[in-house]
């Protein structure tokens, strides 16, 4: 069981950047019958999303978020020991995007860099990696960049996925300091590999045929290079695992939901998060949502929600829970003792 505890490391600062261009779900008449659009928007809780232009990538959004974070907190690039880039939409297949970002951000050549790729739970895993390295002698500061541009891997005629996803880039600065105990509970069930998948890769080599858009289940259109999601199975998975996982990470620390100042969920869809809130019996005031403005930004959604909704609210010491879940299947929860975390407001690219 991956139940990890850290002391004296934590999140010092956090920032986020979204594309300038807005796509409105009320304009999805070509995909969803007009009379159903309002109901869909109210159920998934997504009115609009930010979509990156063709020439803007997840790393561009993260770069801008990182520059903002370093400026707002007077961070010397020379002080960054490790740069992590978490994304499923990297710039290239080779090399790792973190290396490109090291150079672009002016970080020293002594910076350790690597990419992490996982589903919507990725931020939790990457954050636990950042905490683990920051706990070691020799590493004081870790810059974790988590960004996704799912608009580039979702077909616009896929009515399951297209209304949900938005793009975002985030930066999280993790360092040694006067922080209390934080713990992570991380889980995996690979038997659910087909629930959320892009088929083309090494197992199914990419050919000219992979690019061909085909009509799939329920009239959805997509190619083998684009995301498939079984919405019902994801929902069943999430409601059976996520509330339990949140309860467990709290119980392991001798706490209950009443001790939590903020519980930040992966912004999958509003209906699902409302279900979690009901099931956990937590005060909804403590559960920030930014999904109506930004949609589901995959692994970036937890830090984006912090930047969008918790500016100025993380002064002093706060018990904050992050919980995320997604492709893999992979899920987890983290109970963080946050202390004077400086959150920069969301900026536009």
Partner 1 sequence: MNFADLFEETDCDSIKANTCFKDLEEWSSLLALSVIAMIDEEYDVEFRGDDIRGSKTVEDLYKIVKSRVG
- Dihedral over alpha carbons 45, 248, 141, 169 (to 10 degrees): -10
Whether the Cβ atoms of residue 216 and residue 228 lie closer than 8 Å to each other: yes
Question: In the stretch 44-63, what mask flags binding to partner 1 with x, by CB under 8 A?
Answer: x-------------------
Nearer to partner 1, 4 or 221 (CB): 221
From residue 148, give the alpha-carbon distance in Å to each of 128, 168, 173, 216, 219.
19, 6, 18, 25, 26
Contact status, residue 127 vs residue 322, Cβ threshold 8 Å: yes
**Chosen residue from 20, 26, 39, 214 binding partner 1 by CB under 8 A:** 39
**Gap between the Cα atoms of 272 and 274, Å rounded:** 5
Q: Which is nearer to partner 1, 236 or 256 (CB)?
A: 236
Q: To the nearest whole angstrom, how small is the minimum distance from the Cβ of residue 239 to partner 1?
A: 5
Binding to partner 1 by residue 160, rule CB under 8 A? yes
Q: How far apart are CA 186 and CA 323, in angstroms?
A: 10
Question: CA-CA distances (angstroms) from residue 337 to 4, 31, 321?
Answer: 14, 44, 9
Residue 281 sits in the site that holds partner 1 (CB under 8 A): no
Nearer to partner 1, 195 or 308 (CB): 195
Residues 253-272 that bind partner 1 (CB under 8 A): 271-272
According to DSSP, the residues that pair with 221 across neighbouring strands are 215
Strands 182-188 and 330-339: antiparallel
Give residues 99-158 in contact with partner 1 (rule: CB under 8 A): none
CB 160 → partner 1: shortest distance, Å?
7
275 three-class SS:
helix
| Chain residues 214-243 in contact with partner 1, contact rule CB under 8 A | 218, 230-233, 235-236, 239-240
Closer Cβ to partner 1, 19 or 163, answer by number: 163
The CA distance from 333 to 330, in Å, is 11
* 36 part of the interface to partner 1, by CB under 8 A: yes
Give me the least distance between CB of 269 and partner 1, in Å please: 9
Residue ranges binding partner 1 (CB under 8 A): 36, 39-40, 43-44, 160, 218, 230-233, 235-236, 239-240, 271-272, 275, 279
């Amino acid at each position: 069981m991956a139940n990890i505890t850290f002391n004296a490391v934590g999140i010092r600062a956090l920032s986020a950047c979204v594309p300038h261009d807005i796509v409105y779900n009320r304009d999805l008449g070509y995909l969803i019958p007009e009379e159903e659009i309002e109901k869909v928007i109210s159920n998934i809780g997504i009115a609009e999303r930010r979509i990156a232009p063709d020439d803007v990538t997840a790393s561009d959004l993260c770069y801008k978020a990182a520059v903002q974070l370093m400026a707002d907190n007077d961070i010397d690039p020379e002080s960054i020991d490790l740069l992590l880039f978490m994304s499923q939409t990297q710039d290239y297949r080779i090399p790792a995007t973190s290396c490109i970002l090291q150079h672009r951000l002016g970080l020293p050549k002594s910076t350790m860099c690597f990419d992490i790729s996982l589903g919507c739970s990725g931020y939790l895993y990457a954050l636990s990696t950042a905490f683990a390295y920051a706990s070691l002698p020799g590493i004081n500061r870790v810059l974790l960049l988590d960004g996704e541009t799912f608009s580039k891997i979702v077909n616009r005629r896929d009515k399951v996925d297209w209304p949900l996803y938005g793009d975002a880039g985030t930066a999280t600065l993790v360092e040694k300091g006067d922080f209390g105990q934080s713990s992570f509970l991380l889980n995996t069930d690979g038997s659910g590999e087909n629930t959320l998948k892009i088929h083309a890769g090494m197992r199914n080599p990419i050919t000219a045929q992979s690019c061909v858009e085909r009509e799939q289940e329920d009239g959805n259109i997509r190619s083998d290079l684009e995301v498939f999601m079984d919405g019902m199975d994801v929902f069943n998975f999430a409601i059976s695992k996520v509330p339990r996982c949140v309860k467990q990470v709290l119980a392991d620390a001798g706490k209950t939901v009443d001790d939590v100042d903020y519980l930040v969920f992966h912004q999958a869809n509003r209906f699902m998060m409302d279900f979690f809130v009901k099931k956990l019996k937590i005060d909804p005031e403590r559960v920030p949502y930014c999904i109506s403005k930004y949609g589901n930004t995959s692994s970036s959604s937890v830090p984006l929600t912090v930047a969008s909704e918790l500016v100025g609210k993380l002064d002093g010491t706060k018990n904050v829970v992050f919980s995320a879940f997604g492709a893999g299947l992979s899920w987890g929860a983290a109970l963080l003792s946050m202390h004077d975390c400086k959150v920069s407001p969301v900026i536009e690219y």
